[in-house]
């Protein structure tokens, strides 16, 4: 099983950068044109998240035995899907290293490293594919996060579309991120006697890392999108003046937190 899986991973590693390059031929929305690389990177990530997340959900619904026996039971196309995801995360990590400063992307690179380490186990061994399919449910939430960031880049916040996307991000974070993470953690604890210790440690570290990042992510979205744009009662004029800092004749200085980097 390993050679075909590695072949698919290599093909995926080349395909997603090709998609990134092909997006150069399409127009970029005006406000996002100043950061064209970021726009294309998020579009490629959105394609992968929709592909892997929807396929994983349909696969687990149509073939629930993959969740009942996540070690041995799987379909051949499920292994292909996992290999495609490994290739994507490797390609995206290389893209981030090439185009972004390490200080801005270290959290994403750590996330990608953990994910690649865990998913590669399934690709190389042909086992734990069902477990990997459950983990790919997280990509349904990632799709909402990528769309949210695309709306931010195109200056569509605040708007109805952005509000709907923010709430969808929070809802899918709970349903397709925290719930699968909880299920995987519980399964790993219950089956630790039949799983090699090295894989228990690797899986435990990966689940803990992604879990903490997911909780922080949810809090940041809640604060920056929901609480920040919630209507407030009118503020007395003298209080508003006291809370607004000015700089010469350049007008009030405000802080915009809508540019928080929330790519998963």
Counting other chains too, the contacts that 72-78 makes at CB distance below 8 Å and 24 or more residues apart are 72/127, 73/130, 74/129, 74/130, 74/133, 78/129, 78/130, 78/132, 78/133
pLDDT in tens, the chain (264 residues): 457 889 999 999 999 999 999 998 888 888 878 888 999 999 999 999 999 999 999 999 999 999 999 999 888 899 999 999 999 999 999 999 999 888 888 889 999 999 999 999 999 998 999 999 999 999 999 999 999 999 999 888 788 999 999 999 999 999 999 999 999 999 999 988 888 999 999 999 999 999 999 999 999 999 988 787 655 444 444 444 444 444 444 443 333 333 334 454
pTM listed for this prediction: 0.83
- H/E element, 146: helix 138-153
Sequence spans of domains, the chain:
2-230
Question: Phi and psi (nearest 5°) for 201?
Answer: -65, -45
């Amino acid at each position: 099983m390993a050679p075909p899986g590695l072949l698919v991973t290599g093909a995926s590693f080349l395909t997603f950068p090709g998609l990134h390059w092909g997006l150069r031929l399409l127009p970029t929305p005006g406000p996002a044109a100043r950061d064209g690389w970021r726009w294309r990177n998020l579009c490629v990530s959105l394609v992968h998240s929709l592909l892997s997340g929807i396929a994983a959900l349909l696969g687990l619904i149509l073939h629930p035995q993959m969740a009942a026996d996540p070690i041995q039971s799987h379909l051949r196309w499920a292994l292909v899907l996992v290999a495609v995801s490994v290739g994507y995360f490797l390609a995206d990590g290389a893209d981030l290293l090439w185009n972004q400063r390490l200080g801005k992307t270290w959290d994403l690179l750590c996330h990608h490293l953990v994910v690649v380490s865990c998913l590669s186990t399934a690709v190389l061994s042909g086992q734990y594919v069902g477990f990997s399919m459950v983990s790919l449910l997280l990509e349904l939430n990632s799709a909402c996060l990528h769309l949210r960031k695309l709306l931010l880049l195109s200056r569509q916040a605040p708007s109805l579309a952005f509000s709907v996307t923010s709430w969808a991000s929070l809802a899918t974070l709970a349903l397709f991120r925290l719930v699968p993470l909880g299920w995987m953690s519980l399964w790993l604890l219950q089956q630790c006697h039949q799983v090699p210790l090295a894989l228990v440690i690797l899986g435990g570290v990966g689940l803990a890392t992604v879990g903490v990042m997911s909780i922080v992510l949810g809090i940041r979205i809640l604060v920056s999108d929901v609480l920040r744009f919630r209507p407030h009662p009118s503020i007395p004029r003298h209080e508003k003046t006291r809370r607004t800092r000015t700089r010469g004749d350049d007008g009030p200085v405000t802080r915009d937190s809508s540019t928080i980097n929330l790519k998963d």
